[in-house]
C-alpha cells in the first residue's frame, strides 16, 4: 500500500509512521512521498532521514484551506506518487471537493480528541478547558465535514488532577504516535 503523508509542521506524527515503517511495524504499507504546505516545515527534513522523497508544494492563495491553484498543485503532486492512502498528519488546511473527489475514500486524518467531541482547532486545549476526565485521539476518514468523517479508531487518554495543558498534550501526542501507525498497518492488510 503506497502512502503519501501531508503535513504542515514539525512532523512528529510522520516521524512515528516512518519509524514504524523502519521497524517493520507498518504492515504492507510503505511511505512513498512527504508533502508540506510550509517551506520551512520540519516534516520535510524527515525525507532525507528516512530515505523518502519530501517536497514543499505551494498552497497559495489561501491560508487555511486548499483551494484554487494550490489545490491543483497538491492534487498533481499527490497523484504523481500514485497513493493508495493519503495521511493527513498535522496538515492544517481544510480540504475542498476537488481534492476530496480526486482521492475519495483514500484520505485519513489524525485528530487530537475523541471525536465527535472537540472537533476543529486546538482539540487538546478544548478538552482541557472543558474539564473532561477523558480525551485522546481519533483517526478518521476525511469527508467534506471537518473532523466529521467515519471514525476508524481511537485511543483514550485520562486527564489527571495534576495535569497541565503541556503534560496533557504530551500524553495525547504519545497516543497519536501509537495509534496512527497501527491504523495504517491495519488498513494495509
- State how far the Cα of 128 lies from the Cα of 117, in Å rounded to an integer: 12
The catalytic residue among 111, 140, 173, 177 is 111
Catalytic (active site) residue 111: yes
How would you write the chain as a 3-class SS string?
Answer: CEEEEEECCCCHHHHHHHHHHHCCCCCCCEEEEEEECCCCCHHHHHHHHHCCCEEECCCCCCCCEECHHHHHHHHHHHHHCCCCEEEECCCCCEECHHHHHHCCCCEEEEECCCCCCCCCCCHHHHHHHHCCCEEEEEEEECCCCCCCCCEEEEEEEECCCCCCHHHHHHHHHHHHHHHHHHHHHHHHC
138: its cell numbers = 481519533
Measured between alpha carbons, how far is 171 from 41 in angstroms, rounded to an integer?
23
Residues annotated as catalytic are 111
Amino acid at each position: 500500500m503506497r502512502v503519501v503523508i501531508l503535513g504542515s509542521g514539525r512532523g512528529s506524527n510522520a516521524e512515528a509512521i516512518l519509524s514504524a515503517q523502519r521497524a517493520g511495524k507498518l504492515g504492507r504499507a510503505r511511505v512513498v512521498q512527504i508533502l508540506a504546505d510550509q517551506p520551512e516545515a520540519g516534516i520535510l527534513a524527515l525525507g532525507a532521514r528516512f530515505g523518502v522523497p519530501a517536497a514543499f508544494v505551494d498552497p497559495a492563495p489561501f491560508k487555511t484551506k486548499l483551494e484554487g491553484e494550490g489545490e491543483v498543485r497538491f492534487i498533481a503532486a499527490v497523484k504523481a506518487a500514485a497513493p493508495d492512502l493519503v495521511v493527513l498528519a498535522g496538515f492544517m488546511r481544510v480540504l475542498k471537493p476537488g481534492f476530496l473527489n480526486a482521492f475519495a475514500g483514500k484520505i485519513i486524518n489524525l485528530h487530537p480528541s475523541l471525536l465527535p467531541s472537540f472537533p476543529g482547532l486546538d482539540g487538546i486545549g478544548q478538552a482541557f478547558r472543558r474539564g473532561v476526565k477523558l480525551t485522546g485521539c481519533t483517526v478518521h476518514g476525511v469527508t467534506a465535514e471537518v473532523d466529521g468523517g467515519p471514525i476508524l479508531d481511537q485511543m483514550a487518554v485520562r486527564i489527571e488532577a495534576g495535569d497541565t495543558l503541556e503534560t496533557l498534550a504530551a500524553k495525547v501526542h504519545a497516543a497519536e504516535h501509537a495509534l496512527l501507525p497501527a491504523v495504517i498497518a491495519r488498513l494495509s492488510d
